Structure 1
Amino acid sequence: MSLFDRVKQIADKKKMSIAELERKLGMGSNTLYRWKTQKPSIDKVQKVADYFNVSIDYLLGRTEKETFEPELTEKDERDIQKELQKIIEGLEGKNGYAAFDGQTLDDMDEEDKELLIASLENSLRLAKRISKQKFTPKKYRK
């Protein structure tokens, strides 16, 4: 699928014509149609990617992922596990604070304890991904 075909496909999903997209982006008439035969400048491709909130790699057909999704590295995983361990120790009363209504983690039944720990771990992972997405400069995003 060509660059133009990708742009056309996304525009169709948004119920927008190519001419309308060109007007909204401040491009000349038939600019996008010329992408069928000519290579566009990177700033124009970036403009389209930003407008549709997709990556340039997606427009170019290099990936099927529409947007940048940060991957967690081994270091990120270690950091998450360390932070989770600190939280668990705190909930067990080892760091001077109790979990719920004066109860510690040890006072909970095993199933509730496992669910709470899994929920905390998922929350830490999500927070790490959001942070990476928010603070990773666009030029380093794939």
Structure 2
Amino acid sequence: MSLVNKIKLLCDEKKVTFAEVERSVGISNGQIRRWDNSSPKIENVKKVADYFDVSVDYLLGRTEKKRYYDLTEKDEQSIQKELERMINNMDNESGFAAFDGSTIDELDEEDREMLIASLETSLRIAKRIAKKKFTPYKYRD
């Protein structure tokens, strides 16, 4: 898929036009469409990538991963391992109490599942934030 087609898909997802993107990032009107026939300046490609919060490599078709901080299979395994550890600790520790003062053993199945889902979501968010914050610049694009 060409650079222009990738940008078109991103525009469709965000419900914006090429003209709106060009105005927002400060490039001349009609510039993106001309990238089918001429090579763009890397600075302009970076601006567009930043606008859509995707990597330059994604725009150029070098990877299918939109963001450098997207979770990998290894990250997912790490999250599941940590979640399992947390659940085991809650089951084994008598010190855990929910907001209403009940212990993990006293929660009904639905509440327990919601607690686990919340913990898993929190772990995913924390992992993405950490990747975004601590990934060295040389690995970002």
Q: TM class by shorter-chain length?
A: 0.5 to 0.7
Counterpart code for 1:140: Y
| 1:72-129 per-position Cα deviation (integer Å, ceiling 9, x unaligned) | 1655544443333333333xx1xxx2524554334456x3585266336524533443
- The residue that corresponds to 1:69 in the other structure is 70
State the Cα distance separating 1:30 from its structure 2 match: 4.0
5+ long unaligned stretches in structure 2: none
Q: CA separation of 1:103/1:56 partners in 2, compared to 1, >3 Å: closer, same or farther?
A: same
Deviates more, 1:41-50 or 1:100-109: 100-109
1:11: Cα distance to partner?
A: 3.1
Q: Percent identity?
A: 33
**Cα distance in 1, alignment partners of residues 12 and 106 from structure 2:** 56
CA contact 1:49–1:56 (8 Å) conserved in 2? yes
Q: Determine whether 1:83 maps to 2:95.
A: no
Aligned to 2:7: 7
> Matched residues in 2 for 1:141 and 1:25: separation?
20
In the superposition, the TM-score normalised over structure 2's length comes to: 0.64
What SS does structure 2 have at the residue aligned with 1:32?
helix
Q: What is the alpha-carbon distance in structure 2 between the residues aligned to residue 12 and residue 115 of structure 1? A: 36
CA displacement, residues 50-92 of structure 1 (integer Å, 9 cap, x when unaligned): 11222323322344454442221655544443333333333xx
Q: Contact (CA 8 Å) 2:58, 2:66: kept in 1 or not?
A: yes
CA 1:37–1:84: 2 relative to 1, 3 Å: same
Structure 1, unaligned runs of 5 or more = none
Which residue identity does 1:122 align to in structure 2?
Answer: E
Higher RCO, 1 or 2 (CA under 8 Å, sep at least 6)? 2
8 Å CA contact 2:58–2:64 kept in 1: the answer is: yes
Change in Cα spacing, 1:7 to 1:119, as seen in structure 2 (3 Å) is closer
Q: 1:113 to 1:60 in 2, by over 3 A?
A: same
**How many residues are aligned here?**
135
Tell me which amino acid in the other structure corresponds to 1:135.
K
